[in-house]
Every structure is written in C-alpha cells, then in structure tokens.
Amino acid sequence: MEKNNTYKKGPDAMRYNGERRTSLSEDNRQKMSKRVSYTIEGPIFIIKLNDPRHLNSLTFDDFVYIAMLLEKANSDDSIFITVLQSSAKFFSSGGKFEAVLESKGKEDDIGSLNNLIGMISSPNVFVANAFRTHEKLLVCCLNGPAVGLSACIVMLCDLVYARDDSVYLLFPFSNLGFVAEVGSSVTLPMKLGINKANEHLLFSKPLTFADLQGKLINKNYQMEDTDEFNKQVVRDLQAQLVAADAPLRNMKAMKRQITEGTGYRSSLLRAQGLETMTTLPFWHEGEPFRRFEQMRSKQRKHKL
C-alpha cells in the first residue's frame, strides 16, 4: 500500500520527513551518460543536461537514459516533483548529428532496417511513454532554446518556468524531411491550439516566448544566470510543497484526473504508434539522413 507521504520542512531545508536523501555516486552516473546527470534534493528529483560546450545536444542513448531516470523517480515514494534542468544559455539543441547519421545503414538490408526501426521507436515509444506515464509533477527549467526532440520533451512537462524571454522552441521536422515525433503531434495542438501547431510544425517556425507565455510557460523568472535560476526554481517548488501540505497520493490523483479527464494521456498513447509509423517511411527512404548530412557539411543551414 502506498504511503500517504507529505513534505515537511525541517531544520534543514533539504530534509524530507526528517531524512536526508542522497543520490548515486558521480562515478555511477558517469557510466550511464556524460551529458545527463541526476541529484535528489529532499522530495525533488533533478535531471540535468551537462554539455553546454555542445549546446547540450543529446544522443539517442541520452534520451533513453532520461526516460530511465523518470522511471526511477516515479518508483520512489519519497519523490514529489521531478525537475528537468540544463546548463549555460541553451536548454538543448536536440539530437546530435553524428548519432543520427551513425544509424544509417545499407538500403534494403534487413539488419539496417531493424536498427532503423529501433532508432525510431526508441524516442517515440519508450521515451515518450516514460513522460506520459510519469505520475509525479514534472517541471522544466527552460534556461534557453530547445530544438527537435528536446523541444518535444519540454512540451511533455506539466509546468515550464523560463529563465528569461530569450527562450524559444523549434520543431524542424519538416525542414529535415520527416514528421512530428515524441508526442508533439498531440502536445502542440492541445497546449497551444491547432492552428498555431499547424503553423509551427508544418513550416518549422520557432515558437517564441510570446507564443508560449500563458499557454506553456507558467512563469518568467527574468534571471541572467542559469545556475541561480535552477536553484531558485527548486527553492520555490519546495516552498510550494510546504504551503500546499498535500499528500503525495493526492497530487498524483489530481494529475491523473487532469491528464485522463481531458483525454491528454490517451491521445499521447495513440500518438506513439501513429508518429512511429508515419515517420518511419521517410527515414527508410533516406531523405532525413541526406538533410542531416547536408547540415553536418554546412550545405544546409541549421535554424538555431
């Protein structure tokens, strides 16, 4: 039976019901990903992107690791909130070109096709489902622009806080020769409206702070330093937990009411199959690989 936990503020601000929480060692985290790490601060599970030199771009394995961390946070009854953070001025420029191009195999080769199916279904099924089924409050600290699959996971969060008004989201799928992925065919129309989703998905047009304010973004912190922004969001979340004094069971139940009552959760489930099977032929035909290669060789300009 699930414990009816509540977050209680003790003498130590990072204390949960009198017990200090710790995370796995740095060595164990680095074995999983050099670009993604996690820490636990009281009732808050923090996932952080740590490769600012490369604009926090991610491999497919990195996205899978994020999904694994979501499952870890989900199964821990001492965790009330899961937070996604990044570093420097860019949340994430999306998938690494090299990771995409490494997935290209020989045409009409069964092994290559099997690998391609795995590459497509990994983010569209496993990663998307980890976000869809996450029972804890999922918060994004949006410190800067997010592109592609990284923009998709921002859209899957329950609350989004912006560092300042320089943030934007970009979904360059049509520009790269394929279609909406990782739930974006659902999240954009449901959270921003169908017409705006059409405009920004079909034309690969950036969603600016003005487009997102009051629809996706809950608050603009208007801060310069990303580290201070990340810390302030965590402090504010802890204060809100104390003020709400809500048991974990209640918070999870209310999130479930909202996501199931609106049809949001079931729509995301349907999108997993639809997005996977709709995008797969484009990748199999090879056009996205050609366009990623053009970007790597600078024949095609990236819309960052």
Q: How far apart are CA 157 and CA 141, in angstroms?
A: 10
* Residue spans of alpha helices (H) in the chain: 26-32, 60-74, 97-102, 110-121, 128-132, 149-155, 184-192, 194-202, 209-212, 226-244, 248-261, 264-285, 287-296
Residue with tokens 């918060």: 139
Q: How far apart are CA 8 and CA 26, in angstroms?
A: 28
Q: Give me the catalytic one of 135, 181, 260, 275.
A: 181
Quote the tokens at residue 11.
């003498």
CA atoms within 13 A on the CB side of 44: 25
98 is known as an active-site residue:
no
Instruction: Return the active site residues.
Output: 181
